[in-house]
Chains A and B, each alone.
Chain A
Amino acid sequence: MGQGRQMLAEIVDQVAKQTRDYLSAEMHISVREIGPVPAAGDRLRLHDLTAIVSLGGRLNLQVAFSFEGKLADALCAVMTADMDGAEQDWTLYRSETAAEIINTILGACATELWIPNDPPILLSPPVVLEQSSSILKTRKAIFYGSQLNTDFGTVYIYAVSPPGLFGTTEACVP
């Protein structure tokens, strides 16, 4: 494995573990298995709901959480359990749930990955894609993926460097 892909693998591994812990502690959903996404093929499959964040600083990459539909629904149900009116705006709340989850998990990961005396690792606001698709991997991009299997379905975590594969243009802030 090349050095760049090794770095992505380590980052995705950390993100996957944080995701497993978050799903268990906050969503009460157990992750049965964590495994790599096969790297074969020139296209990257995005599932029913995908949230994407760019991370700046020394990382300079994009991370996507791509949820299978039933898992997205289960997460939204837990997240909105105490909220009135969520059923009427289910599509909106489902997207907001994905955005909230990726923002919270990657915020925690950035804290773990930050090196003292380095500039902070900045996160972009999440962008959410609401339908499944496949995108062409560009030759210049390094990619690594992990999948977390739960009883409700799978979430795929992808990291790509440099950012841009997912076509979003959100700048890192602040």
Chain B
Amino acid sequence: MMEPSRTMQPLKVLVVDDSLITVNKLKRMLTELGHRVVRTASTGMEALTAYAECHPDVVTMDITMPDMDGIEATKHILLAHPEAVIIMVTSHGQEPLVLEAMNAGCRGYVLKPFRAEKLCEVIDRVVERYLTPKAD
């Protein structure tokens, strides 16, 4: 049984990945961490629509997808919704791709294969930094 996430309240999560296996895995892990997967999308194009319709707190985003890749989708989502918090979940660990994703505006990066503990750590760090209101 996983420890619940340290974030104060359950997050609404949009999971974007063309792998049914990864979508299922993330759904299970996120639910066990106390969060709620409100939508899933299997292409970058679907992700744009899904984000606009459900306004999640956090997006997990794959890179390699048909139609539109995750880095491009990240740019488009942030253009329309600058407040979006996007975490890449991908098998791509090459430095130029990580840099490209960060420059596109993603807030965190999780490499496959991943464990729940790593996912939790990245989510907590991202939420603490980008979603938690700071005291004046």
Contacts and interface: CB of A to CB of B under 8 A. Distances in A.
Contact of A103 (B19, B25, B69, B97): B19
A108 B93 contact: yes
Q: Which of A25, A99, A111 has the most CB of B within 10 A?
A: A111
A12 interface: no
Contacts, number: 74
A97 interface: yes
B92 A96 contact: no
A: contact size bracket? 20 to 34
B: contact size bracket? 20 to 34
Contacts of B72: 174
A174 B91 contact: no
B66 interface: yes
Interface string B9-53: 000000000111110110010000000000000000000000000
Interface of A: 22, 25-26, 79-80, 82-83, 92-93, 96-97, 99-100, 103-104, 106-108, 110-111, 114, 116, 119-121, 123-125, 170, 173-174
- The 5 A-B residue pairs whose C-beta atoms are closest, nearest first, are A107-B91, A174-B69, A111-B93, A100-B21, A96-B20
